[in-house]
Every structure is written in structure tokens, then in C-alpha cells.
């Protein structure tokens, strides 16, 4: 017999409900991985799975894409508004939604959700958002779009299944608007599969605990999450603090875009203020408000030390202020396809703002890019468009607890690096090398994370889209630490010439050319003169730093160079 007093439930019941929901979201994740067609989903984890309650508040999200944190609720809310409310849904319905300005991400990130019921009463929603290979934009991954209508097929909340039966007309329209129709159809069905698992598990959980106990336990979960974040914020000094983010260009012009994000901390709450950022850009580096909000929430939760599956309560202490018509609150038809790059810059800016409030809270800067070079070929057997490449890990900043790591940047923190063996097995690609770069990490008491380089050749002609960012502003050091090595992408052509690229869309590269993607290092943290002799010796022995780097940045330990040499 479950204990409860009025609307209250005991701690054990709350944890049972919490972990049941986390398990359900994780089962959705595994279902999507096991049934998806594209490596970007099943190998790289460019997706998210989550459960929302009937009020569209987040109950649990699997460990996948932080960039999607909280944004999927906006997709549900907007789709329901277009459909006529939750009363327009019934068991067996499956809804697709991908409008960028109200859903938060670019159209290729297709949102799919299913309602869950208990004895005819709506109890919540199971939702996935996954990156589809191509949905008919001006190119498979445009860096030069000038309005949202160039960025792919838009679905404003349509039932792809109704009462359990597929809406074949809509599904045919989606496939007809893709350069990779079989992969898109397969990945879309994998999303449906995952949502069905989530809805089934949510209905089972409610059936096990009963509606009253379930809802009371969920409210306790929210309250606990809110208390956790408020305790963190309460420990920081009140005030207004700011940080800077950067984007190399808007994809149309080559001018550097810098923007300031402020954090106003008062008591146990804070406002993350984007009102001072530039106006919406004419290229696709605008970040829709749902992602702006979701990103700010994710950063605060990260800094607070949240390690369990987040829920709506963690977001309550955080208000996000934006300005309509700005780069972080664009309106239709402003282009948004590269929203992830300014979002990554906003993470860096918010980290810096909190560091100005309390230096030990945040790390030094990261290389701040996804280093996403997309290479496309056509499968000769079926004419299907192949996509090779995706987000790559970069160096993170050193911090008060130690050296920086080399991981994916914050917005895609749970993605995976696609193994070279898998890409060589599936695509016409041959790798020359994957290796760390000496002297890429910023110097400091705690050095930055390592930079590295990926070199490969295609055995056939290919079309390429380059989205290399933060080539102009490397990872910033903190508290006396130095900057890391910046990102870079170049191609060495068979005739011997080498071209360097930033944002460039859909250009042809001949077979045999050498692709060189340099993923930058993180910034150093603290005065380099305080770094330990043993740490410098180890870095020398591991090839992380060269003797010349030690002489320049750690002159108090030049004798270590002689010892190692």
C-alpha cells in the first residue's frame, strides 16, 4: 500500500516514479537507435527523446542532445494550437511538427509526438526530435539561406498517423520532398516506434501508481528540481554580469558577429538577458526563441551540477528575456538553419557571465564549434543521397578542478563520434589520420582540452558543405590562462593547391582530394606559472606540448624540457 497524506507522497514513491519515467525515456532512446536508418541518429545520437505531462511540462528526457532540452515542449504546444487543442487528438494519433521559429530548431530536426491516455484521460506526451538526412531545402544543409522557406519542407502539426492508421498522403509528401526518401521514411518510422514505446510505458506507469499518486509524485519531482537550482543560485553574489559570444559570419557576409548576454542574479533566481544582441541576420545564423530559452536553462542546470534527468522544476528559477526581431528571437521568415552555432556561442557567453559572478563556477572557453563538414555522395545502387560527417568533439576550457577535456561542445554534449571503421564500411571514404595536435591547448594552471585533426579522402567526386565556425576567435583563457588553437578546415586538391573554408554550401570536390578538419583546443584556466612541474612533464612526454611551448608559456620549468629531451 502506497503511503500518502493528502496530495503528498513519500520519498520512496517519488523516486520510483522518477526512475520509471527516466527508464521510459531511455527505452525510447534505445528504440530509436535500434530502428533508425541513418548513422547520424543510430551512431552519433543527433536526437532527443522525452516525456511531458498533460500540461506540456517536462517529466524526463534521455541523455541525448542538450540543445533540444525543453524545446520539444514548444513543438507540442504549437502543434496543438494548430490542430485545435489536445481535444483534437485520440489514441493512436501521431503528430509531426518542425516549424523552426516556434519549434526551436531547423526543419531537419523533425519532432514526432504521441498522446498517452489512462482510462480515456490524457496523461501526457511521448516525443522525439531527430535530425533527418534531407527534407528538401535549397541544399541538404544550407549555410546561405535567406529565408525560412529555403530551409526545407515545413510541417505545422500534421497527423502522420490517425487512430493508428498511417496518413499515406502526408508520408508521400515528406518522401517526395527529400533527396534521400528511403532514409527519411525509415528514420521517421523509427521516431514513431520510439514514441509508441514512450506512450506505452507512460500509460503503464500511471496504471501502476494511479493517477492521483502519479501526479503528486511528479509535482514533488518538479519542486525538488526547483529547490536544487535555487540553492545553487543563492550561493552566488547578486548583480548583473555579462559575457561575450561570437559567430564568424552570418553565411552571407563575412563580418564577425559578436554579441553580449547578461545574467541578472537576484536571490535564488536569475534572468538571462538577450535583449542586447544584434538584430536578426539576413543569413541563417538566427536562433529561434525556444532554443534560446532551452539553451539558457541547460547552462544554468549544468552549472548547478544537475546530474540526473532534468525536469520542468529545474527551469522555474530561470527567466529568459529576449527581444523580438533579434538574432536570438527571429520571426518568420528570418532564416534559422544554422541556429546551433549562435546557440553554442550563447553557452560560452553565459558561462563567462557566471564566471564573472564567481570564477570557480565556470570553465575557460571551449573551441565553441561543431566542426561539421558535410560530404555528400550518391549511392549508385539506389540513387539515395549519402551523408558523411557530422559534429566533432573540440577542446573544452580548463577549470578550477582540473584540465579541460576533449568532448563535444555543450549543445550536443551526449553525441558520439562516428567511428572511422563504420564510415569506411558504409561510404566511399578512406581515412589518412585521426590525431591530437601538439600545442593546441591553452596554457594555464589547468590547461585547456586538446585539439585534434581529422584527415580523409573520398574515392569519388563529392559535394561538400562546410560549416566551420570560431576560426576568428579561438577559445578564451580565464584568470590568466591563454587561448587555445582555433578551428580550421581546408582541402588539398589533387593539383597541389590548398583552399581554406568557413561557411560554404554545396561545392564540388574531386576524388582523391585531402580533407583536413582541425578541431581546436580549449582555453587555459589560471596563471600558467602555477602549473605543477609533474603536469608539464607529463604533457611533454605525451606530446601535448612541445619544448618550445614550455619555454614560451612555462619558463619557470624549462629544466623539465632538458630532462625529457
Q: Is the pLDDT confidence value at 382 over 80?
A: no
Q: Is 388 helix (H, G, I), strand (E, B) or coil?
A: strand
pLDDT digits (tens, 9 = 90+) for 200-243: 999 999 999 999 999 999 999 999 999 999 999 999 999 999 99
Q: Which three cell numbers stand for residue 243?
A: 559575457
Q: Is the pLDDT confidence value at 448 over 90?
A: yes
Q: Is the pLDDT confidence value at 69 over 90?
A: no
The whole-angstrom separation of Cα 84 and Cα 426 is: 44
- HEC assignment per residue over 97-154: ECCHHHHCCCCCEEEEEEEEEECCEEEEEEEEEEECCCCCCCCCCCCCCCCHHHCCCC
CB 393 within 8 A of CB 418: no
Query: DSSP state, 489?
Result: E
The residue whose grid cell reads 587555459 is 524
Q: Is 239 helix (H, G, I), strand (E, B) or coil?
A: strand
Q: Is the pLDDT confidence value at 4 over 60?
A: no
pLDDT, mean over the chain: 94
- For the chain, first and last CA: distance in Å? 71
pLDDT digits (tens, 9 = 90+) for 499-508: 999 999 999 9
pLDDT digits (tens, 9 = 90+) for 313-343: 999 999 999 999 999 999 999 999 999 999 9
* pLDDT (0 to 100) of residue 5: 40
- State mean pLDDT over 537-563: 88
* pLDDT (0 to 100) of residue 137: 95
pLDDT digits (tens, 9 = 90+) for 170-186: 999 999 999 999 999 99
Confidence of residue 54 (pLDDT cuts 50, 70, 90): very high
Strands (E), 281-421: 318-321, 372-378, 385-388, 394-395, 406-407
Beta carbons within 10 angstroms of residue 182's beta carbon = 16
The whole-angstrom separation of Cα 282 and Cα 337 is: 12
* pLDDT (0 to 100) of residue 557: 78
By percentage, how much of the chain surpasses pLDDT 70? 97
The residue whose grid cell reads 523509427 is 190
DSSP states along 259-282: EEEEEEEETTEEEEE-TTSPBPPS
Closest CA to 197 of 46, 73, 26: 26
CB 323 within 8 A of CB 275: yes
* pLDDT (0 to 100) of residue 418: 83
Confidence of residue 415 (pLDDT cuts 50, 70, 90): confident
> 77 or 415, which is more confident?
77
Confidence of residue 1 (pLDDT cuts 50, 70, 90): very low
CB 139 within 8 A of CB 505: yes
Cβ burial, residue 563 (10 Å; 0-12/13-18/19+)? exposed
- State mean pLDDT over 513-542: 96
Q: Which pTM value belongs to this model?
A: 0.94
DSSP states along 404-457: PPEE--GGGTT--PPPHHHHHHHSSEEEEEEEE-TT-SPPSSBPPPPPEEEEEE
* pLDDT (0 to 100) of residue 7: 53
Query: DSSP state, 150?
Result: G
Query: DSSP state, 478?
Result: B
237 to 261, 268, 361: CA distances (angstroms)? 18, 10, 12
pLDDT digits (tens, 9 = 90+) for 137-169: 999 999 999 999 999 999 999 999 999 999 999
Beta carbons within 10 angstroms of residue 425's beta carbon = 9
The whole-angstrom separation of Cα 99 and Cα 111 is: 9
* pLDDT (0 to 100) of residue 407: 81
pLDDT digits (tens, 9 = 90+) for 253-302: 999 999 999 999 999 999 999 999 999 999 999 999 999 999 999 999 98
Q: Is 537 helix (H, G, I), strand (E, B) or coil?
A: helix
Closest CA to 138 of 173, 100, 165, 177: 177
The whole-angstrom separation of Cα 500 and Cα 492 is: 9
Q: Is 296 helix (H, G, I), strand (E, B) or coil?
A: helix
* pLDDT (0 to 100) of residue 194: 98
The residue whose grid cell reads 507540442 is 76
CB 191 within 8 A of CB 185: no
The whole-angstrom separation of Cα 410 and Cα 69 is: 11
Choose the weakest-confidence range: 28-32, 188-192, 377-381, 552-556: 377-381
* pLDDT (0 to 100) of residue 565: 60
Amino acid at each position: 500500500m502506497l503511503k500518502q497524506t493528502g496530495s503528498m507522497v513519500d520519498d520512496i514513491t517519488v523516486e520510483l516514479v522518477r526512475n520509471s519515467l527516466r527508464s521510459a525515456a531511455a527505452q525510447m532512446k534505445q528504440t530509436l537507435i535500434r530502428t533508425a536508418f541513418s548513422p547520424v541518429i543510430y551512431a552519433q545520437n543527433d536526437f532527443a527523446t522525452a516525456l511531458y505531462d498533460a500540461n506540456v511540462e517536462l517529466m524526463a528526457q534521455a541523455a541525448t542532445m542538450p540543445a533540444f532540452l525543453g524545446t520539444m515542449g514548444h513543438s507540442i504546444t504549437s502543434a496543438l494550437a494548430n490542430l485545435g487543442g489536445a481535444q483534437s487528438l485520440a489514441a493512436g494519433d501521431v503528430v509531426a511538427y518542425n516549424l523552426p521559429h516556434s519549434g526551436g530548431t531547423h526543419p531537419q530536426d523533425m519532432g514526432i509526438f504521441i498522446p498517452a491516455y489512462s482510462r480515456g484521460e490524457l496523461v501526457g506526451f511521448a516525443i522525439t526530435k531527430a535530425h533527418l538526412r534531407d527534407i528538401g531545402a535549397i541544399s541538404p544543409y544550407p549555410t546561405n539561406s535567406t529565408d525560412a522557406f529555403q530551409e526545407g519542407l515545413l510541417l505545422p502539426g500534421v497527423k502522420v498517423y490517425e487512430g493508428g492508421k498511417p496518413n499515406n498522403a502526408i508520408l508521400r509528401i515528406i518522401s517526395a520532398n527529400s533527396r534521400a526518401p528511403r532514409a527519411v521514411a525509415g528514420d521517421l518510422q523509427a521516431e514513431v516506434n520510439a514514441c509508441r514505446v514512450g506512450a506505452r510505458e507512460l500509460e503503464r506507469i500511471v496504471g501502476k501508481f494511479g493517477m492521483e499518486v502519479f501526479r503528486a509524485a511528479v509535482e514533488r519531482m518538479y519542486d525538488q528540481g526547483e529547490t536544487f537550482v535555487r540553492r545553487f543560485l543563492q550561493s552566488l553574489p547578486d548583480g548583473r554580469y555579462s559575457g561575450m559570444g561570437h559567430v564568424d559570419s552570418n553565411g552571407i557576409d563575412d563580418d564577425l558577429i559578436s554579441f553580449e548576454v547578461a545574467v541578472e542574479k537576484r536571490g535564488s533566481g536569475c534572468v538571462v538577458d538577450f535583449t542586447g544582441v544584434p538584430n536578426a541576420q539576413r543569413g541563417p545564423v538566427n536562433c529561434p526563441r525556444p532554443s534560446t530559452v532551452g539553451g539558457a536553462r541547460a547552462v544554468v542546470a549544468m552549472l548547478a551540477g544537475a546530474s540526473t534527468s532534468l525536469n520542468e522544476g529545474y527551469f522555474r528559477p530561470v527567466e529568459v528575456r529576449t527581444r523580438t526581431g533579434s538574432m536570438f528571437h527571429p520571426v518568420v521568415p528570418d532564416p534559422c538553419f544554422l541556429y546551433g552555432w549562435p546557440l553554442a556561442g550563447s553557452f560560452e557567453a553565459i558561462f563567462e557571465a557566471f564566471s564573472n559572478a564567481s570564477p570557480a563556477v565556470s570553465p575557460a572557453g571551449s573551441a565553441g564549434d561543431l566542426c561539421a563538414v558535410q560530404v555528400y555522395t550518391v549511392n549508385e545502387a539506389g540513387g539515395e543521397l549519402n551523408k558523411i560527417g557530422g559534429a566533432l568533439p573540440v577542446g573544452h576550457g580548463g577549470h578550477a578542478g582540473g584540465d579541460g577535456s576533449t568532448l563535444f561542445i555543450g549543445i550536443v554534449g551526449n553525441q558520439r563520434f562516428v567511428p572511422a571503421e563504420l564510415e569506411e564500411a558504409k561510404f566511399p571514404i578512406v581515412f589518412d589520420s585521426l590525431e591530437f595536435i601538439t600545442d593546441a591547448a591553452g596554457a594555464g594552471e589547468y590547461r585547456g582540452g586538446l585539439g585534434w585533426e581529422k584527415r580523409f579522402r573520398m574515392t569519388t567526386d563529392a559535394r561538400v558543405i562546410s560549416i566551420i565556425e570560431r576560426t576568428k576567435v579561438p577559445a578564451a583563457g580565464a584568470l590568466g590562462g591563454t587561448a587555445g588553437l582555433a578551428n580550421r578546415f581546408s582541402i588539398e586538391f589533387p593539383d597541389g593547391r590548398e583552399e581554406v573554408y568557413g561557411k560554404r554550401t554545396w561545392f564540388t570536390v574531386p576524388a582523391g582530394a585531402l580533407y583536413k578538419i582541425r578541431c581546436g583546443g580549449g582555453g587555459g584556466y589560471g596563471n600558467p606559472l602555477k602549473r605543477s612541474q609533474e603536469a608539464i612533464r607529463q604533457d611533454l612526454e605525451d606530446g601535448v606540448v612541445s619544448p618550445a611551448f614550455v619555454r614560451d608559456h612555462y619558463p619557470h620549468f624549462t629544466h623539465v624540457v632538458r630532462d625529457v629531451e
